[in-house]
A = this chain, B = another copy of it.
Amino acid sequence: MDKEISQAVIRRMPRYYRYLGDLIDKGVERISSYDLSVMMHVTASQIRQDLNNFGGFGQQGYGYNVKYLYEEIGKILGLNIVHNIIIIGAGNVGQAIANYVNFERVGFNIIALFDVNPDLIGKSIRGIEIHDYNELEEFVKNNKVDIAALTLPKNAAVESSSKLIELGVKAFWNFANVDIENEDNSLIVENVHLSESLMRLSYNIIRQDKA
């Protein structure tokens, strides 16, 4: 698994994982690339190609073992490893994420929230404490922090990401309406830009109305 897998393939893997999980829930043990392709609205050849990047998993004429493939994709995605997340900004979005139990099932463990608001500091979301933002440095030094979720206004997000980078945090789940500077590609950043997603929706609505 030393060769470079394209980010396009990586973007598709979680979707395979989701469909295979649904099949397990339905009691399906085996599926052909054709049946999977119909379900997922992609071509069977795309599925075979994507999975071949990781060594195949299928047997000609026999299909995929659903549970095995699900577990292998889980390992490829690193879901068998626990990732500790801290959330910077305990506002609406930060709290919504902290409330999301499904993340834990796939190995993402939210260990703390941070905020500057005295009304929030000391409170808990599902038992996860909201800390004073001033304690961030000490916390990161004393705990294993794998991912920082940035759910705060853009100027504050830039400032706190700089601080976190200094403290050695390398992976960011960025909900702030700003780009995290990553010129030398030393960071791993996943952006969730909600406004931009809405704007694409808007563009496509207008385009359809004109068509």
Contacts from A to B (Cβ < 8 Å): 10-11, 13-15, 17-18, 41, 76-79, 81, 83, 91-93, 95-97, 99-100, 102-103, 106-108, 146-147, 170-171, 173, 177-179, 183, 188, 190, 192-206, 208
Q: Which of B96, B188, B202 contacts A204 (CB 8 A)?
A: B188
| A195, B14: Cβ atoms closer than 8 Å | yes
| B197, A173: Cβ atoms closer than 8 Å | yes
In the complex, what distance in Å separates the CA atom of A198 from the CA atom of B199? Answer: 22
- Please state the number of chain copies in the assembly: 2
- List 17 contacting pairs A-B, 8 Å CB cutoff, sorted by A: A13-B200, A18-B177, A18-B178, A76-B203, A77-B203, A79-B199, A81-B206, A92-B100, A95-B96, A102-B177, A103-B195, A106-B195, A108-B202, A170-B205, A171-B204, A173-B197, A188-B204
| B201, A188: Cβ atoms closer than 8 Å | yes
**Minimal Cβ-Cβ distance residue in B for A4:** B207
A123 CB to nearest B CB, Å:
15
| A194, B192: Cβ atoms closer than 8 Å | yes
Given contacts A103-B195, A147-B205, A173-B201, 10 further A-B contacts (CB under 8 A): A10-B200, A11-B200, A17-B199, A41-B183, A77-B202, A78-B202, A83-B201, A106-B199, A147-B198, A173-B198
Q: Which of B15, B17, B78, B193 contacts A14 (CB 8 A)?
A: B193
Q: Which of B15, B103, B178 contacts A198 (CB 8 A)?
A: B103
| A92, B103: Cβ atoms closer than 8 Å | no
**Minimal Cβ-Cβ distance residue in B for A105:** B195
A10 CB to nearest B CB, Å:
6
| B13, A199: Cβ atoms closer than 8 Å | yes
* Given A96-B96, A106-B198: A171 and B14 interface contact (C-beta under 8 Å): no
Q: Using Cβ atoms and an 8 Å threshold, which residues of chain B touch A188?
A: 201, 204-205, 208
| B76, A171: Cβ atoms closer than 8 Å | no
* Given A92-B100, A205-B171: A199 and B14 interface contact (C-beta under 8 Å): yes
